[in-house]
Amino acid sequence: MVNPEIKTQKFIIKYFTEIMIKGSTAKRQMIAQVYNNLNNILSKVSSDIKLKKFFDKLEVVCPIEVVAQVRQRLLDTPGIQQILEAIQFDNMHTLDDIKVKVNETCAHEIQGKSFVVRCKRTGTQEFKSPQIEQTVGGYMLAMNDAKGVALKNAEVTINIELDFAQLNIITHKHMGMGGFPLGTQGTILSLMSGGFDSTVASYLSMKRGMKTHFIFFNLGGLAHEIGVKQVAYYLWNKFGSSHRVQFITIPFEDVVTEIFKSVSEPYMGVMLKRLMLIASEKVADSMSIDALITGESVAQVSSQTLRNLALIDQSTNKLVLRPLCMMSKPDIIDIANKIGTTRFAEAMPEYCGVISKNPVTHGNFERIASEARRFDYTVLDEAVKNSVFVNVDEIDQDISEIGQMEIISDLSSGEYTVIDIRQSDDCIETSVETLKIPFYKLKSEFKKLPQDKEYLFYCEKGILSQLHAQFLRDAENYTNIKVYRP
């Protein structure tokens, strides 16, 4: 157990390795961006968090009460290579000061175990790092019931850092997200369907330091739109909340209708992708964005053969990035599992898109040009004209306006059953009957419940509850669902 008298926790942040090998100007800019991003993110957690910037690290000191939140935010912030949790002690001027303080803090860890002390030192002291290690190790061995000191293969390693007269005892080490600080590598527009591929591609662009906006092509259903908004909000909130980005919806129902009217069946899939890039280019131009990103992977489906990707790219002058192009589906799913988007992809509502009969896998440049000439582009222009822009951080408000789901805050009538739909194992305690059904099980589990009752969906911020209440009402015609916000 940590000393109960300790009221704050310190985190030492090591920058992504590629930042440290940049030229001095680029390095300063990236370090400043990490600092600014963390200031923005952590200020939303607590006003009592203090952040200090150094040429080779950042230091975060926070109240003990918010340690878990701060740790998770640091783990999910691009540009961070390693996170060290430390307990800080000032005015450690002598070896006696250091050995006593380290023993007070870490003695419980070495009882009955072999151990070693490792020290890194900065500043001018009368003693070197090996002396600190020997003195502290010898003192702890004498004062505790430990097996002994083992310089190799020790069961416990005591890591300490001495920065002039400031002692940091490292309690935990975590590998960070890596990548470049968000905002240092420009801005990109991600074509989002909400499935495994587009969400992983968006994550990778954010990890590489690109401010990532989202564009969604609605092929005919509100349920799919709110599902994609849900996962876009999740990605932004987890990995990119230091910057404000937009979610753009383009109504594509009429475009699909025109495809069926004017495009030959084998080329429908390729033509749809071309039209999405053309529309994305128009939106990107309006936002001064130079590049697009998609979740396409070579040969995953018929429209993603090398030839068909070349036909698709021919439709735009924008740079199109495809970070998944050499990945297999299992590779992509592994990343989705790691970043937490698998449940969203699996729960994504189904929708009817363009299904080509006998789709072409090796399209012809002259043939696609002929197909393109037959398409009425005024339909596409009208769709782009009707684009809807919403800030991702306002998606909860946007969903409320779309769905107009009734919100209940007072449970005193006792006539409701609350359903906690959060993914975690936690379940809210209320004065009425309360059930736990994670959002990704709602579609299958809700229909098993007695339908003569009124149900209130609950989540922490009210976003998931709005989204899934809206989806079940629209897709399954349930009328006995509302949202609970205490």
CATH topology of domain 187-400: Rossmann fold (3.40.50)
Q: What is the mean pLDDT of residues 129-137?
A: 95
* Residue 401 pLDDT: 57
Q: DSSP state, 443? A: H
For every residue of 63-122, DSSP letters joined together read: EGGGHHHHHHHHHTSTTEEEEEEEEEE----SHHHHHHHHHHHHGGGSTTSEEEEEEEEE
- Per residue in 173-185, pLDDT (tens digit) is 999 999 999 999 9
pLDDT at 1 over 60: no
Of 342 and 404, the structure prediction assigns the larger pLDDT to 342
Which numeric CATH code is attached to 8-175?
A: 3.30.2130.30
Measured distance CA(183)–CA(33) in Å, rounded: 7
Mean pLDDT of 180-206: 95
> 13 - beta bridge partners?
58, 83
CA proximity to 9, closest of 173, 174, 171, 238: 171
pLDDT for the residue 379: 95
Per-residue model confidence (pLDDT) at position 157: 95
Structure tokens at 73: 């935010």
Q: What are phi and psi of 65, to 5 degrees?
A: -65, -25
Residues in Cβ contact with 193 at an 8 Å cutoff, skipping those fewer than 6 apart: 216, 228, 295
pLDDT at residue 346 tops 90: no
295 is in an annotated binding site: yes
Most confident of 195-209, 349-363, 451-465: 195-209
Which of 1-5, 31-35, 151-155, 202-206 is predicted least confidently?
A: 1-5
From the list 62, 106, 119, 459, the catalytic residue is 459
Q: How far, in Å, CA of 158 to CA of 146, rounded?
A: 13
User: What's the average model confidence in pLDDT over 105-121?
Assistant: 94
What is residue 319's three-state secondary structure?
A: strand
Q: What is the pLDDT of residue 466?
A: 74
Has 125 been labeled as part of a binding site?
Answer: no
- What pLDDT score was predicted for residue 413? 83
What is residue 352's predicted lDDT score, i.e. its pLDDT? Answer: 43
Of the listed ranges 112-116, 219-223, 325-329, 475-479, the least confidently predicted one is 219-223
Residue 410 neighbours by CB under 8 Å, 6+ apart? none
Residue 439 gets which letter from DSSP? G
What are the extents of the domains in the chain? 8-175, 187-400, 407-484
| Residue 416 binned pLDDT confidence (cut-offs 50, 70, 90) | very high
407-484 shares the fold of 8-175: no
- Would you give the distance in Å from CA 299 to the centre of its chain? 27
pLDDT over threshold 70, residue 137: yes
**Binding site annotation covers 191?**
yes
pLDDT surpasses 70 at 343? yes
The answer to whether 273 is annotated as binding is: yes
Please tell me the least confidently modeled range out of 108-122, 221-235, 245-259.
Answer: 221-235
Tokens matching residue 106: 């870490």
| Domain 407-484: top CATH class | alpha beta
**Region 317-323 average pLDDT:** 97
Residue 5 has pLDDT above 60, yes or no: no
Give the span between the Cα atoms of 323 and 343, in whole angstroms: 22
pLDDT of residue 220: 56
Classify residue 24 by burial, with Cβ atoms within 10 Å: 0-12, 13-18, 19+: exposed
Q: Do 8 and 63 form a contact (C-beta atoms < 8 A)?
A: yes
Angle at 457 between CA 451 and CA 462, to 5 degrees: 160
Whether residue 459 lies in the annotated active site: yes
